Amino acid sequence: MVVEIKELVFCEYPLCSHAASAGSFYDDMDISFGGERAKILNGGQDLSLSLDQYSGSGFQSKHEYLFGRFDMQLKLVPGNSAGTVTTFYLSSQGAGHDEIDFEFLGNSTGNPYTIHTNVYSQGKGNKEQQFHLWFDPTAAFHTYTIVWNSLRIIFLIDNIPVRVFNNNDAAGVPFPKSQPMRVYASLWNADDWATQGGRVKTDWTNAPFTALYRKFNANAKKVGPNSVSTSSINDNQSWSTQGLDAAGRNRIRWVQTKHMIYNYCNDHKRFPNGISAECKTSRFL
C-alpha cells in the first residue's frame, strides 16, 4: 500500500547522500543569452532570469560533464505565467545530440504548472512524461535533481524520485552514455505550444517574468582539457550506481499514480506502430 506523502522532506540513503556545498554562479556558469535579463546576485549565490516581449535569458555551465548528480533550487515565475517556459537541463551539442530535460510550463493564474521531462539520445527524443506538483513551485525554492549514470537517469524533486529512465541499450533503445553534456537553464516564450497546447498566450502586460535559481551543485565527472573532476576520491560518488530502494519505488509509484498527467508509454494514438521497447520493461529497477 502506498501512503500519500504529506511531508515534503525525504532524505535517506542514497537519495540524500551528497553533502557537497553549492558553488558560485560566477565560478560555475556563463550567461548564454539575454544580456542584462540574466543577473547573478548575492555574491554569486543566486541567479535570476527574466523574460520580456523582446527576449528571454539563459545560462550554461562553464564545464562539460560525463555522468553525475546535478542539483538546482528554483522558484518559478509567479502569477499568470502562461506561455512561459523555465528550464533546467543537460545537453550535448551538434547533430545527434543527447539531452536530459526538466521544463516547467507556465499557466494562467490559479492553474498548476506542468513539469515536462524528456530524454534525447543520438538526436532522438519523444520520451516525454509530464506531472503536476503537490506544492506551489512559485511560493518557495524547491530542489530539482538529475542523476545520470551509465545504468539509468533519475529525475528527483526535493529528493523524491518522479521518473527513472533505465539504460536499455541492449534492447536497441539509445541511451546517453558517451557524449559530454553541459548544464543549461533558460526562461523563454513558447506560447505557441507551452500552455494548453498553445491555446493560452503570454500576457505581456505582466512582463517582465522572472524565475530564480540558487544552490547549484554538480557532484559529477568533468571532462575536457585541464578538467579536474568535481568528484574527488574523498567525495561521495553513490550517484555512479544510484537506483531506487523499496522506499524510493513506493514514492515514485505515488508520484506517477497521483500526479502524472502524460506518459509517452501510454500514448498509442501518437505511436500507432507500437510503444518503445523500454516501456515494456520494469521502470523502477
Q: Distance between CA atoms of 68 and 182, rounded to whole angstroms? A: 11
Cell numbers found for residue 267? 500514448
Sign of the dihedral defined by the CA atoms of residues 34, 42, 18, 180, in that order: positive
Q: Is 103 considered catalytic here? A: yes
Of the candidates 120, 118, 110, 113, which has an alpha carbon nearest to the alpha carbon of residue 86?
113
Number of CB atoms found within 10 A of residue 33's CB: 14
Amino acid at 65: Y
Q: Which residues pair with 265 in a beta bridge?
A: none
Cell numbers found for residue 266? 501510454
Q: Distance between CA atoms of 88 and 74, rounded to whole angstroms? A: 9
Cell numbers found for residue 53? 516581449
Of the candidates 66, 90, 211, which has an alpha carbon nearest to the alpha carbon of residue 141?
211
Cell numbers found for residue 76? 518559478
Q: Distance between CA atoms of 67 and 28, rounded to whole angstroms? A: 17
Single out the catalytic residue among 64, 103, 128, 278. 103
Q: Evaluate whether 276 touches 265 at the Cβ level (below 8 Å).
A: yes
Number of CB atoms found within 10 A of residue 218's CB: 25
Of the candidates 145, 151, 183, which has an alpha carbon nearest to the alpha carbon of residue 165?
151
Is the bond preceding residue 180 a cis peptide, omega within 30 degrees?
A: no
Single out the catalytic residue among 7, 12, 36, 99. 99
The catalytic residues are 99, 103
